[in-house]
Amino acid sequence: MTTTRTRGAGATSFGPSALLGIPAMAFFAVFAILPLGVALYLSFTQWSGLGSPEWVGLENWRTLLTDSSTAHSLMLTIQLMVLTWLVQTPISLLLGVFLAGRQRYREILAVVYFVPLLLSSASIAIAYRNLLDPNFGVFSGGGLGWLNQNWLGDPSLTFYVVAFIIAWQFVPFHTLLYQGGARQIPQTLYEAAAIDGAGRARQFRSITLPQLRYTIVTSSTLILVGALTYFDVIFILTQGGPGDATRILPLDMYLTGFVANKMGLASAIAVVLVVLGMVLSLTISKASGFSKMESQLDGEA
Amino acid sequence: MDKNVIRTMSAGVAVGAMLLVAGCSSSDSSDEAATSPDTTTVWTTAGTDDVLEASATRWNADHPDGQIDVQIFENDPYKTKLRTAISAGQGPTVFSGWGGGGLKTYVDAGEVTSLQSAFDAAPDLLDRIFPSVLAGGTVDGEIYGTPYNGVQPVVIYYNKDVFEQAGVEVPATWDDLLTAVGELNDAGVAPFSVGGASKWPYLMWIAYLTDRIGGPEVFQSIVDGEEDAWLDPAVIEANTMIQELVTAGGFVDGFSSVDANQGAAEALVYTGKAAMQLQGAWAYSGTYLTAAPDFVESGSLGWTTFPTVEGGAGDPANVTGNLSSYFSISEGASEAGTANATDWLLNGVFDDTYVDELMATGAVPPISGFDDKIAASSAPEWNAFVYTTAQAAGSFQLSWDQALDANQAEALLTNLEKVFLFQSTPQEFSDAMNTVAQEG
C-alpha cells in the first residue's frame, strides 16, 4: 500500500475518516443520550405533564422502592422473561435445526412457520382478543369443553395466555436464527459422527448443540432483553388487567406516565428498565464468553 | 438550564416517546401568527364531527377575520397530545375536555382562560344550560368550560323480548333486580352484560350504588380530597353489593374479557345472550342504533333508570354519567384568537341550527325549554327519556374517572376490577384508594 497524500494531520490511518461518523453520533446523542439524561433528570422531579417539573429529590425513587405495585410489576416482568425464554428456546431450537435440512418440503414449512412474524403486534393482539372472546370467540360454539375458558379475563390464566401469544409471535424469528446457525455447521462433522456410529440424538447432543452455543446466546439475549419491551401486545390484549395480573414494568411505566400523569415516577421506572436491560445483556455476554467470540470454521475452537 | 428549555425538552421527550410529534410541530403560535393570523384552531375528539364542522363552516362564511379550524382526534391519543402540546406552549386556541378533575388540572396549571365574564355578559345562554351540566365546566366557582354536545346519563338498557320470554319484570328496586337475576339465570339468559375488559364500564355500578346508598355527598367528599373519604361505609357497602351481584351470577360469563370499545357488550344484549346493560346514553345512537337498527326500530330495546336501594339516603332521581363535553380556551392563545373563540363558543355553538343538527345525530343538548323539538325528533321516546332524566336529576354526577384527577382515576379502574374479580375485598378497595388519595 502506498501512503496516501493528505492535507490534514493524523490522517495516515486506513479506512474512512472518523468525521464520517459525526452525523450518526450526533443523531445518537440527540435522540438517545439526551432523552436518557432528561429522563434521569425527570426521575427526580414531580411533573404532571403540565407546567414545569418540580424538583423533589429522591421521592420518586423512594416510592419506587417501597411501593409494592412496582415490585409486583417487576416480578411479573421477570416471570414473563423466564417463561417466554423457557417456551421459545426449545421450540425454536428444534424447529430451526429441523428446518435447516435440505429437503424441499422443509422450505414450504419454513414459510408457514414464519407467518406470525409477518403480522404486526397490534393485529396479532386484536385477532387473539376476538378469537379468545368467551362469548363470540372460536371456542364459544360449544362442544369444545375446557377450551372455552375466560382466557383473557381470568386473573389466574391471563398471564400464561399472554406469554403464549408472545412466544407464538416470536418463535419464528428465533427459529430463523437457529436455522441460520445450524446451516453453518460443517456437514463433515455429521459424516464423521455417522461413521463412528452416532445416532441422530447423539449427533444433536454432541455436535449441533455445542456448535449452536453462540446462537443460543444471541437468541437468549434477544428474548430476555426483549422481554423488557413487551408492551404493544399486552396493552391491546389486557391493558395490564384483569386487575394488575399482566401489568408488567413497561406497561406500568406507560400507565403511570401517560394515564396517571405521574411523569417523574414513570421516568424513574424508565431508568430502571434501561439499567436492567444493560445489566442483563452485559451479564449474558460476559457469562457466556460472547465477547471473545471466535470463528468456528477450519478447525478452530 | 433555562426553565423553558427544560420544559420544552421534557415535553419533547414525552412527545417522542409517544410518537405523536408529527402533527403538532407546525402549530407553534409564532408560526401561526406568520402564516394565518386569523385562524382559531379547535381540537376535539371524534363524536359530533359533522355538527362542529358545519358550525365552523357557517361561522367562517360570516367572519372573514376570524376563521375557525376544527381538528378531530381519536379519544385516547388526544389526551396525551393535548397535554404535551399545551405544556410545550403549542396548544390550540380552543380544546375539548370532559370537565371535572381533568379540567381542574389544566386550570390549576394556569392553562385555561376563564369564561365567567363572557357568560355573565350573556345571561340568556347561562339560563338555558342545565345548571348540573354547567357545574361540570366550573372550577372554584368560575366557568372555564362550556358544554357543546349531548348530555349522557347512564341508564339501564334491556332486551324486551328476553324479558317477555323469561317472564321477568323490569326491576325498580335492588331487590327486584336480584330477583330478576335469579329468574333470568333460571331461563338460561345472562342478566347483565358489561364490557369488563375495558374497565371503565365497572365504574357505573359503584357510582350508582354509592349514590343510592349514601347520596351525592359521599363522592363529593372524595372529589374534594377529604380525609378518609374513600373509607365511607357507603363505598364499602356499594362494593359489597357489587360482589353479591357477581356471586348471584348477575353478569355474563367471561364478563371480564368483554371489550366495551368494540361494542361487544351491546352485542350480547341485542343478540339475546344477556338481558340488560348499564351503560351511558351514548350507547343508544353510538352502538345499538348503528349495529342493530332492526332491533331498535322494532321496539325491542327498552330502557329504564337505575333501581332504588331500600333505606338508601340518595334520591332515586339522581343520575351519573357524562355531563357533556366542554370547550375551553387556552391561556396561551393570542388576544384576537381568544376574542374570536369566545364569540364562537357563545354564539356559534348551541345556536338553533347547531342544536337541530345535534339532535339529528341522536344527542340531547343540555338546554332547557326543548320539549317541542324533542317531540319532533327522530327518536322522540328515547330523547324525551334522556332529557327528562337529566333535567329531573337533583344531582348529576360526572363519571368518576373524569371527576377525579388522573392518578386516582387510574388506580380506581384497577382496584375496582379487582373487586369485580374477587381479588380484593370491599375493605381492601377502600384502603387502597385511600392510600392513593393521600399521596395527593
Task: Judge if B312 and B174 occupy the same domain.
Answer: yes
B427 C-beta neighbours (distance < 10 Å), count: 12
Q: How far is B112 from chain A (nearest CA, A)?
A: 12
What value does the mean pLDDT of chain A take? 86
Instruction: Please indicate whether, in this complex, the C-beta atoms of A35 and B414 are within 8 angstroms of each other.
Output: no
Q: Determine the structural domain holding residue B63 and report its residue range.
A: 38-151+323-369
**pLDDT in the model for residue B4:** 52
Task: Judge if B234 and B309 occupy the same domain.
Answer: yes
Q: What is the ipTM of this complex?
A: 0.79
**What HEC string does A54-78 produce?**
EECCCHHHHHHHHCHHHHHHHHHHH
Closest partner CB to A133 (pick from B105, B264, B406): B264
Q: Mean pLDDT throughout A183-199?
A: 90
**pLDDT in the model for residue B38:** 66
Instruction: Please indicate whether, in this complex, the C-beta atoms of A150 and B197 are within 8 angstroms of each other.
Output: no
CB contacts, 8 Å: B267 with chain A: 136
For B218-243, write each residue's pLDDT tens digit.
999 999 889 999 999 999 999 999 99
Task: Judge if B417 and B283 occupy the same domain.
Answer: yes
Closest partner CB to A135 (pick from B106, B268, B406): B268
Task: Judge if B255 and B146 occupy the same domain.
Answer: no
Query: What's CA B44's distance to the chain center, in Å?
Result: 14
Closest partner CB to B10 (pick from A42, A132, A262): A42
**pLDDT in the model for residue B23:** 37
Comparing CA positions, the residue from A164, A121, A128, A162 lying closest to residue A246 is A162
**pLDDT in the model for residue A6:** 47
Question: How many secondary structure helices (H) and strands (E) does chain B include?
Answer: 25, 14
Task: Judge if B190 and B312 occupy the same domain.
Answer: yes
Task: Judge if B122 and B159 occupy the same domain.
Answer: no
Task: Judge if B62 and B119 occupy the same domain.
Answer: yes
Angle between helices A213-226 and A158-183 (to 10 degrees): 150
Q: Mean pLDDT throughout A276-299?
A: 72
CB contacts, 8 Å: A153 with chain B: 196-197, 254-258, 421
Does residue B198 form part of some domain? yes
Q: Of A135, A162, A231, A267, which to mutate for an interface test with B (greatest number of B Cβ within 10 Å)?
A: A135
Q: Of B2, B5, B13, B266, which to mutate for an interface test with A (greatest number of A Cβ within 10 Å)?
A: B13
All three cell numbers of B122, joined, read: 350573556
Report yes or no: B246 at the A interface, CB cutoff 8 Å: no
**pLDDT in the model for residue B232:** 95
**pLDDT in the model for residue B7:** 54
pTM: 0.83
Does residue B68 form part of some domain? yes
Residue linked to cell 428474548:
A223
Q: Which residue blocks in B90-199 are alpha helix, DSSP H? A: 100-108, 116-120, 123-128, 131-134, 160-166, 174-186
Residues 122-141 of A with CB under 8 A from B: 129, 132-136
The residue of chain B with its CA nearest to that of A35 is B13
**pLDDT in the model for residue A12:** 57
Estimate the share of chain A in helix, then strand, then coil, as percent rounded to the nearest 5. Answer: 70, 0, 30
Q: Please give the CATH topology (third level) of the domain spanning A79-247.
A: MetI-like fold (1.10.3720)
Q: How many domains does chain B have?
A: 2
**pLDDT in the model for residue A234:** 93
Does residue B356 form part of some domain? yes
CB contacts, 8 Å: B277 with chain A: none
Report yes or no: A153 at the B interface, CB cutoff 8 Å: yes
Report yes or no: A277 at the B interface, CB cutoff 8 Å: no
Task: Judge if B66 and B100 occupy the same domain.
Answer: yes
- Assess contact for A250 and A231: CB atoms under 8 A: yes
The enclosing domain of B84 has a CATH number of 3.40.190.10
Task: Judge if B136 and B207 occupy the same domain.
Answer: no
- Which portions of chain B are predicted below pLDDT 70? 1-38, 440
Does residue B182 form part of some domain? yes
Comparing CA positions, the residue from A56, A18, A6, A15 lying closest to residue A267 is A56
